[in-house]
Amino acid sequence: MTKKEKAKYIVEELEKLYPETPIPLDHKDSYTLLISVLLSAQCTDKRVNLVTPALFKLADNPYDMIKLSVAEIKEIIRPCGLSPRKSQAIFTLSEMIIDLHNGEVPASFEALEALPGVGHKTASVVMAQAFGVPAFPVDTHIHRLLTRWGVTSGKNVVLTEIDAKKIFPERLWNKLHLQIIFYGREYSPSRSPKNSIDFITNSIGTAKAKKELV
């Protein structure tokens, strides 16, 4: 298979499996999505969704968030891990959203990435899912799968994102990155060395083997 053939096959199979792609992090607006994505760093979405109800009951907007102390935020989000750093980031970015953006989450990559605790991947998720701007957030799991599928030879998530944007149509980016995440969780978890049910990898590998025999 060429990279274009692989991409077409991947898109078709993922669309069959996941025609609908609900955002796995519970939220109600761009601010609560931003906070949830920040908390998901080195933490499962499931655990974030268990933690955020208590946080958002007290503060689901930047104005209420800065009424809490960093220590209070830290105690609530402790199960998500990295709570000292994340709690400070949540408090400070809330201040910045109020001071610099009139209390509204900014809808630009540059402004989002200027907020503490917000890297390119987090900004990409918010831009894609909150504002509908085409983006292709690549985390380590998407990087792992796209590398395994032979779509990219990127040595890191930055290069993988560049390759993914070249090979997949822009109109599919926002949905496709979620489909790949869902597929990875169901069919190709990172701790499964055999990948016995990862049929996309198996199919691409079979096609490659047949081509080499010709």
Positions marked catalytic: 121, 139
The type of residue at 156 is N
Q: What is the DSSP string of 99-147?
A: HHHTTS---SHHHHHTSTT--HHHHHHHHHHTT--------HHHHHHHH
Alpha-carbon torsion angle 94, 107, 167, 40, nearest 10: 20
Q: Which residue has the tokens 């010709």?
A: 214
How many Å apart are CA 120 and CA 137, to the nearest integer?
A: 8
Phi, psi for residue 75 in degrees, rounded to 5: -65, -40
Query: Side chain identity at 110, as an amino acid letter?
Result: E
The rounded distance, in Å, linking the Cα atoms of 102 and 132 is 21
> Measuring CA to CA, which residue among 101, 97, 139 is closest to residue 120?
139
